[in-house]
Amino acid sequence: MLFDINPKEHRRDLYDREGELKEIQDALRLGERLLILYGVRRVGKSSLLRVALRETNIPHAIVDVRRIYFEYGAVSREALYRGILEYFTRNLGLLEKAGFKARDALSRIKGIHLTELGFEVEPLAPLPSFTELLSRIDEWCRRRGLRFVMAFDEAQYLRFGGVTKYDGIIAWSIDNLPGITFILTGSEVGLFKDFLRLSDPQAPLFGRYRREILVGRFTRHQSIDFLYRGFKEVGVAATTEELEEAVDMLDGIAGWLTYYGYYRAIRGLSHREALNTVFDEGSKLVLSELTSVISLSKRRYTAILKAVASGASTWSDIKAYVIARTGRITDKRFTELLKRLVKYGYLAKKGDHYVIPDPVVEHACRLL
């Protein structure tokens, strides 16, 4: 169902991503080692990833690194192992259909406990290195002519690995483990690029071949067609004027369009009620996410976002608003805060002007 608010698992539920799906599947068919998926929040990267991997029937694990960071406050080796093992436990049947017998592949790794239900990290036991875990998976798969995909969703949070340098481990794996492909997705594009440092000759991943795939927001035509097909699928009528207004307000972001369709067609709200609910509930979600980002300089970050949401767009106008709200701030520090919000994706710079690229985020920032 197009208006299913959960991440999609099947192509029939994924709207118009044929080009991106083909690129991912071509890369996997060719045995490429590193794929990078970029795109703003809620544009559909996670759904695209899940559909692509399910269709190719390649053994894989998908780890939501952002969830691990928010749950544990860091992405330690143990926390990442828990994420990987949880995926194996939930998907044992699916993995076996793809030829990957996880119980056999991981049975002799110290620190990982095998239970009747699946896997868990052994308490107090010394953990294997991450390279050992990857090497065991690679060895097991290559002996059987299989490829394994390790997918890290919201991979920019791997930078919170402490002493574990995940970019170095990924680079080492690309060089030494031919049976493993890494897929990294990132929404906070600036921070994602900072983590990868692909153009830095001193960075571990510099010079490695990778396939980069941009997952863009829908065009206006695609957005209207998406809503039209979604309403048709569930037999609910919506006028052209309603569809156009929804698209004008939600601006091609698949996640918000899906929520609108869900509230309107599945929950039975009116057009106006559905739009209001998307902005109200979406703002709560945005503000909960934003809290962790702005916590270290909350008053100033809040003032910057509120300034832009209120119409200020130039460096000088935004700074004047911030000074009026929070007091003096040096040019250097103010510029650092602006750049940080751009890297997180909450602001975008167009020429000399700053904008909030997500309409629901803009609405939420007015409430700060």
With a cut of 90, say whether residue 352 has pLDDT above it: yes
Chain mean position to CA 19: 19
Q: What is the CATH number of domain 17-214?
A: 3.40.50.300
220-288: same fold as 17-214?
Answer: no
- Across 203-309, the runs of DSSP E, i.e. the strands, are 211-214
Q: For the beta carbon of residue 195, count every other beta carbon within 10 angstroms.
A: 22
Q: Give Cα 290 to chain centroid, integer Å.
A: 15
Does domain 220-288 fall under CATH 1.10.260.40? My reply is: no
Helices (H) then strands (E): counts for the chain: 17, 9
Residue 53 is predicted with a pLDDT of 94
Domain-wise residue ranges, the chain = 17-214, 220-288, 293-366
Instruction: Inform me whether the pLDDT recorded for 44 exceeds 90.
Output: yes
**Confidence bin at 107 (pLDDT 50/70/90):** confident
Whether the predicted pLDDT of 125 surpasses 80: no
210: which residues sit within 8 A by CB, 6+ positions away? Answer: 32, 33, 34, 35, 36, 198
Q: What is the pLDDT of residue 322?
A: 96
Q: Tell me how far apart the alpha carbons of residues 115 and 263 are, in angstroms, rounded to a whole number.
A: 41
SS3 338: helix
> Which pLDDT band, with edges at 50, 70 and 90, does 138 fall under?
very high
- Please tell me which of 95-104, 108-117, 168-177 the model is most confident about, judged by mean pLDDT: 168-177
Q: Taking all residues of the chain, what is their mean pLDDT, rounded to a whole number?
A: 93
Give first-to-last CA distance, the chain, whole Å: 35
Is the Cβ–Cβ distance between 246 and 273 less than 8 Å? Answer: no
Cα pseudo-dihedral 222, 228, 231, 235, rounded to 10: -140
Q: Where residue 291 falls among pLDDT bands split at 50, 70, 90?
A: confident
| 163, two tokens | 């002493």
What is the rounded CA–CA span in Å between residue 103 and residue 89? Answer: 10
Report the C-alpha gap between 156 and 190 in whole angstroms.
9
Strand partners, 291: none
Residues 245-254, mean pLDDT to the nearest whole number:
95
pLDDT of res. 204: 95
Checking DSSP bridges between strand 112-114 and strand 60-64, what pairing results, if any?
unpaired
Q: Which residues on adjacent β-strands are paired with residue 100? A: none
User: Is the domain defined by 293-366 classed in CATH 1.10.10.10?
Assistant: yes
Give the pLDDT score at 222: 96
Dihedral class, residue 207 (left if φ above 0, else alpha if ψ from -120 to 50, else beta): left
Report, as an integer, the average pLDDT of 247-268: 96
